[in-house]
Amino acid sequence: MTEDLAGGDLSTLRHLNGLAVIGVLRGGPALTLTELSRRTGLSRASTEDVVRELRERGWVGEAEPTAGSVGRPARRYRFRADAGRVLGVDVGGHKILAQVADLDGAVLHTRRVAVGPGLGRRERLAAVDDAVNGVLAAAGRAPSTIWASGVATTGLVDGAGRVTLSEALPEWTGVDLAAHLGRLVEGPVLVENDCRLAALAESWTGVARDAEDVVFLLAGLRTGTGLIIGGRLHRGFANAAGEIGALPAAGWSRARNHLKAWTAPGAVADVFAAARSGDREAAEAVDRYVRDLAVGASALVLTLDPELVVIGGGFSRSADLIVEPLRRELDRWCLRTPEIRVSAFGDEGVALGAVRLALGHVESALNRRPPRGAAAARAR
């Protein structure tokens, strides 16, 4: 795993020591060699060696001297977020969105390829190739410089990155996304359900970043959910959590039918525009949609009692027509209606969650520091 992480680079070095130093520097203040040696348990000489090589690779930089210090202060070193890249890919029904971010999660490059929900497996995977190769080219990066990749897809995903069930996309059940992406980039590839990744993005830097327990609702032509419980993405025992939509009594399978008369391909927003301009039938269709959405949402809220409900997905752009009616319906069914917030990520939330998934993998690898004994034994 640690070898994979850096695309093989670190394994040519005393990589455990290198990871120990990065693990200490990342997310913390700049440190002197003496401080680094103490925190890593490496000898002073080993620490100097490792820091020199990490600087040569660009992973560690020298920090600016503290203002106002007298005499010649000891040099301090910091982790460079720019040292590596992660990739996030949203494989959606209507688009493929690929993003390259630095190790602090700042998105540096984006590539979007439009697709249709009726596309076959082969064509959709070709569009994935286009988006990924395109964003790597825009970033001026070789596939070997991607430390980890996150991929979002509709449906259920197994632990190996294979789609086990997709109701939204034809021919998608059974596709091995981890293997497919593995041909485009080096480093580990993590695949996860798109609603969950959108929830993860909200919990990371979105409107839910201060909440521990969150129900994220993807509201669009599909309805889905991602759950944050105790500050962590809840996946369930067999990675099948959040599938309340499969229960007819929860109303979600009915919900979108109310909008069907208004739904030309790619023109879903019409019903909201019409309702906004005073069309009574459109307003009633939206009302019926919200009423059905609210049944499943109430089941989630009554089960978990979250601090927040976050509305994302395509319909979040029509929050003015959805949030208040939804709140009234939740008031009707729930013992306590949580605060409702609207995602600010537009249709990039899922890709951002995929970036976060990749970054989480990098972090856990960096934080997996070697035991002191092991590190010391490897020191020169």
x/- letters, 200..219, toward a second copy (CB under 8 A): ------------xx------
Of 316, 378, 374, the C-alpha closest to 341 is 316
- Residues in the interface with a second copy (CB under 8 A) total 41
Residue from the set 298, 316, 318, 343 that interacts with a second copy by CB under 8 A = 298
For a second copy, give the closer residue by CB, 134 or 155. 155
Quick one: 147 exposed, middle or buried, by C-beta within 10 A (0-12, 13-18, 19+)? buried
x/- letters, 100..139, toward a second copy (CB under 8 A): ----------------------------------------
Nearest approach in angstroms of CB 309 to a second copy is 11
299 forms part of the interface with a second copy (CB under 8 A): yes
Q: What contacts 299, CB < 8 A, 6 or more positions away? A: 244, 247, 250
State the Cα–Cα distance between residues 49 and 216, nearest whole angstrom. Answer: 47
Which residues between 326 and 355 bind a second copy (CB under 8 A)?
333-336, 338
Phi-psi region of 304 (alpha: psi -120 to 50; beta: other; left: phi over 0): alpha
x/- letters, 246..285, toward a second copy (CB under 8 A): xxxxxx----------------------------------
Q: Where are the alpha helices (DSSP H) in the chain?
A: 2-5, 15-25, 33-40, 44-56, 121-139, 177-182, 194-205, 252-255, 270-276, 280-304, 319-333, 349-367, 372-378
45 forms part of the interface with a second copy (CB under 8 A): no
Of 268, 314, 326, the C-alpha closest to 90 is 314
241 forms part of the interface with a second copy (CB under 8 A): yes
> Which tokens is 102 given?
């630095």
**Can you name the residues that pair with 91 across neighbouring β-strands?**
96, 153
160 forms part of the interface with a second copy (CB under 8 A): no
169 forms part of the interface with a second copy (CB under 8 A): no
235 forms part of the interface with a second copy (CB under 8 A): yes
For a second copy, give the closer residue by CB, 237 or 278. 237
158 forms part of the interface with a second copy (CB under 8 A): no
302 forms part of the interface with a second copy (CB under 8 A): yes
305 forms part of the interface with a second copy (CB under 8 A): yes
Cα atoms in the 13 Å half-sphere on the side-chain side of 54: 31
Give me the residues that bind a second copy (CB under 8 A), please. Answer: 156, 165, 212-213, 227, 229-230, 232, 234-251, 295, 298-300, 302-307, 333-336, 338
